[in-house]
């Protein structure tokens, strides 16, 4: 029997093509980073359920047993975890169902810092099914993380978990029946539906089919522009290739440069602006990069939900006469990595000279939080913060732009474009995987390949800062 579950309903809300592929089990496997995120939700859920000490867990039962046991517990007015309900071809499991006078409270557990619009839709689908099954749902709540919670000793579930009443917003959603009929038709049809690319490709999450769908676009397509309002308007009007943008459409200067480079397949270099950037640099240059991980439920004292915890850094010091020095740190073990990391880094970033990072908001954010959590280091951290120069600046403003960047100024796109070198030959090639692999091998302790992972982490982080040296050198050649 074909069933429309709440997870499939939400996929249908995003994209009918995504729904169809999911039902046919044609969705790519989750990445390591995605799996890490899913695991965070499960960890948070355990603490939420501690707040309902009379709750009965049904999540470990199979489909039929779950339905049967749910019916029994509902009749006996018990609080239920993972209560299952089926209405014709609609099926859902409610995270928490709690009896109250004259009806029930319905709770959805989300490891986010606030209730979000797609959570209302999730609850609306559940409420629709449960009420058709005969229950009277009085209140709907989202149980989510308290973003201000600071761990000190054992986790306190009452402080960790926040509750938001979303009953009015859930009750305002009145298209569940209509949408459900459509989604059931879609998952039963033989051919995948034809769907246009839209904002929904990234909302509420990046679609797992996006690479395939967007891969059909022209090499110089309008989604490379930085002004998303403009490019979606163009896209909706059937203007896909940048060469077809009407002359009377006024673009921002950086988007004009992207268009020029893309349509003429040439590299853009604004030498005067790049020279201004070089005027900010003071040798020696401390090329610096953090790697971090985060968890929904904080695991170290003096940390918050989803706080970026630095576990690794690479530092290349480039002297004016050409001498290079390299330092690195990679935490080992389950202890809080921040303390030893700071101790070592303070011995390596000294004196004067620019601290060069790529996309400064990340490194600045981590350093600022370290100063807050470990105030004895604040004076040194403030000194470092005052010396930071963002190497992304000339690329963010597209003073240098190569069509191969496809509208991006990330180091993963910039480095190959300007130096011809990149991350393709590495076993770890992005920060999300680095974070997930470190957590898996060093914190969870469930990896048999810890030493191999450590070697690969060092190679990856080291390339980030060595690559910054190459980028600086190539930019310098352009203005000589």
Residue 196: pLDDT above 90?
no
CA distance 347 to 325: 13
Residue 216: pLDDT above 90?
no
Q: 480: pLDDT confidence band, cut at 50, 70 and 90?
A: confident
In CATH, the architecture of 274-479 is: 2-Layer Sandwich (3.30)
Which pairs with CB-CB distance under 8 Å and at least 24 residues apart come from 364-373?
A: 364/388, 365/308, 366/290, 366/292, 366/308, 366/310, 369/307, 369/308, 370/310, 370/338, 370/342, 373/302, 373/303, 373/338
Contact 291, 311 (CB under 8 A): yes
Residue 446: pLDDT above 80?
no
Question: Looking at the chain, how many residues does it have?
Answer: 480
**Domains of the chain: which residue ranges?**
4-188, 199-258, 274-479
**pLDDT digit string, tens, across residues 372-428:** 999 999 999 999 999 999 999 999 999 999 999 999 999 999 999 999 999 999 999
CATH of segment(s) 4-188: 3.90.320
Residue 448: pLDDT above 90?
no
CA distance 196 to 184: 20
Rounded average pLDDT over 85-100: 97
Contact 370, 310 (CB under 8 A): yes
CA distance 189 to 169: 32
Q: How much is the pLDDT for 215?
A: 87
Q: How much is the pLDDT for 445?
A: 79
Mean pLDDT, the chain, integer: 96
Report the 10 Å Cβ neighbour count for 396.
15
Q: What single-letter DSSP state applies at residue 480?
A: -
Q: How much is the pLDDT for 333?
A: 78
Rounded average pLDDT over 205-220: 90
Q: 218: pLDDT confidence band, cut at 50, 70 and 90?
A: confident
**pLDDT digit string, tens, across residues 30-53:** 888 889 999 999 999 999 999 999
């Amino acid at each position: 029997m074909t069933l429309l579950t709440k997870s499939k309903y939400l996929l249908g809300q995003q994209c009918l093509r995504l729904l169809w592929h999911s039902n046919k089990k044609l969705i790519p496997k989750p990445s390591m980073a995605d799996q890490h995120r899913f695991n965070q939700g499960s960890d948070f859920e355990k603490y939420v359920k501690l707040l309902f000490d009379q709750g009965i867990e049904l999540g470990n039962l199979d489909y039929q047993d779950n339905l049967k046991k749910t019916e029994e517990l509902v009749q006996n007015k018990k609080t239920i975890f993972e209560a299952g309900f089926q209405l014709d071809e609609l099926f859902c499991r409610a995270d928490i169902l709690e009896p109250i006078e004259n009806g029930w409270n319905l709770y959805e557990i989300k490891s986010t810092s606030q209730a979000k619009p797609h959570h209302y839709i999730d609850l609306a689908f559940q409420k629709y099914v449960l009420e058709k099954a005969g229950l009277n749902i009085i209140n709907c709540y989202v149980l989510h993380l308290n973003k201000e919670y600071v761990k000190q000793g054992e986790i306190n579930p009452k402080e960790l978990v926040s509750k938001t009443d979303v009953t009015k917003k859930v009750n305002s959603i009145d298209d569940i029946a209509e949408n459900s009929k459509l989604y059931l038709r879609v998952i039963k049809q033989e051919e995948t539906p034809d769907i246009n690319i839209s904002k929904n490709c990234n909302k509420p999450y990046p679609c797992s089919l996006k690479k395939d769908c967007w891969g059909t676009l022209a090499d110089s397509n309008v989604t490379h522009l930085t002004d998303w309002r403009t490019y979606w308007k163009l896209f909706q009007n059937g203007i896909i290739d940048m060469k077809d943008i009407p002359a009377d459409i006024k673009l921002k200067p950086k988007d004009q440069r992207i268009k020029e480079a893309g349509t003429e397949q040439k590299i853009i270099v604004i030498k005067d602006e790049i020279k201004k950037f070089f005027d900010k640099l003071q040798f020696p240059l401390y090329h610096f990069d953090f790697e971090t991980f985060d968890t929904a439920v904080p695991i170290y004292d003096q940390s918050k939900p989803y706080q970026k915890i630095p576990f690794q850094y690479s530092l290349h010091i480039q002297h004016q006469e050409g001498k290079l020095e390299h330092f690195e740190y990679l935490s080992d073990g389950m202890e809080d990595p921040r303390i030893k990391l700071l101790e070592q880094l303070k011995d390596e970033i000294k004196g004067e000279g620019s601290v060069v990072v790529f996309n400064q908001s990340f490194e600045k954010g981590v350093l600022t939080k370290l100063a807050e959590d470990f105030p004895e280091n604040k004076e040194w951290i403030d000194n470092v913060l005052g010396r930071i120069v963002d190497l992304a600046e000339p690329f963010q403003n597209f003073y240098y732009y190569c069509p191969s960047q496809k509208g991006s100024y990330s180091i993963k796109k910039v480095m190959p474009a300007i130096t011809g070198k990149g991350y393709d030959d590495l076993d770890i090639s992005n920060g999300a995987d680095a974070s997930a692999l470190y957590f898996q091998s060093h914190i969870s302790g469930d990896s048999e390949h810890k030493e191999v992972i450590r070697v690969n982490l060092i190679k990856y982080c080291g390339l980030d800062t060595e690559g910054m040296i190459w980028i600086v050198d190539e930019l310098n050649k352009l203005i000589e």
